[in-house]
Amino acid sequence: MPADRLSRRNTVSVLPRNATRARGFTLVELLTVVAVLVVFAMIAVPSFNELIASQRVQIAATDLFTSLLRARSQPSSKTLTSRFRPPAHGPPAGPSPPVERISIRTRRRTISPSAIRGW
């Protein structure tokens, strides 16, 4: 008899002959995967919070910039005084420095062709 047939006969099986092994994962394998996922999540959460905070600051800066551009462009087309006042509740990213009001003054300059030399 070949050696591998002898080894099969000498082994004792815990399962009955007609029983099949259940497919799936063991509890230890599942807990290991969950532990690895928890470690990855703990590493990712702080950097995700920093990303959210930096995006809020970027949005607030962009809103301020566009408001200032709008306030600066309006007086040049009309003879009006334009004032920009930050919202009382502060920007959405957090508290703003204490500012009573911000105003931009523009001066209208007219250049005539006769004032330019060589015309």
What is the model's pLDDT at position 119? 43
Phi first, then psi, for residue 62 (nearest 5°) are: -65, -40
Please report, rounded to a whole number, the percentage of residues in the chain having pLDDT higher than 70: 45
Total-model pTM? 0.37
User: pLDDT tens digits, residue range 54-75?
Assistant: 888 888 888 888 887 877 776 5
- 108 pLDDT band (50/70/90 cuts)? low
Task: Give the residue with greater pLDDT, 88 vs 66.
Answer: 66
